[in-house]
Amino acid sequence: MKKITKFFFFSLLILLSLNGCNSSNVNEDIFQFKDSYVGDNSAVRSIVRQLPLGEYFNGFELKTKEEPYGMILNYTNMDAEEIEKNYKETAIYNATFIFTLVKNAKWITFNFDDQEYKITKEDLERWYGKNLSEYTSEEDLTKLTKKYLEDESKVNQFLKK
């Protein structure tokens, strides 16, 4: 009987350990962070890690001392095959989600290995012709963003401002 109890206890312990190791933010709904604030560093970190190139995210600075509030996001160790077009699309896509989810974010600077882009909420909303805070689902926001990212000349024009 002791052997069975020990075996059962040991098996349960292994299952609990494996379950804990497998819990990740991959399946987390990014819109659970809707209405976060720039000063909430854990929310900002969670959002950025779930967005494209999140695996290359290497820290940030939250600028909350004076308005307009914003953030600097740093990405490093990018793959050699990552090209400038991907940086541009990632900056716009990620900024769209961050501005939608982080209530008081007004600007974001994206620092990639060799490229920097600064995007403001005002400019991005003007480009889309939409108020980003009205979006409530990842699916709708992704559709909007992908539609605008299809036109490379518009992307380049937007980021040259």
When the pLDDT of each residue in the chain is averaged and rounded to a whole number, the result is 85
Q: Which pLDDT score, from 0 to 100, does residue 1 have?
A: 54
- Average pLDDT in the 45-73 region? 97
Check residues 8 and 34 and name the one with the higher pLDDT. 34
Q: Which amino acid is at 125?
A: E
Q: Which pLDDT score, from 0 to 100, does residue 8 have?
A: 40
Q: Does the pLDDT at position 68 exceed 80?
A: yes
Q: Does the pLDDT at position 48 exceed 90?
A: yes
DSSP for 32-56, written as a single string: GGTTB-TT-HHHHHHHHHHSTTGGG
- Residue % of the chain over a pLDDT of 90: 73
Residue 109's pLDDT band, with cuts at 50, 70 and 90, is: very high
User: CA torsion 144→147→149→150, rounded to 10°?
Assistant: 170
Q: Which pLDDT score, from 0 to 100, does residue 77 have?
A: 83
Per the DSSP assignment, residues forming a β-bridge with 63 are 70
pLDDT in tens, 118-154: 999 999 999 999 999 999 999 999 999 999 999 999 9
Hey, where are the domains in the chain? 27-159
Q: Does the pLDDT at position 9 exceed 50?
A: no
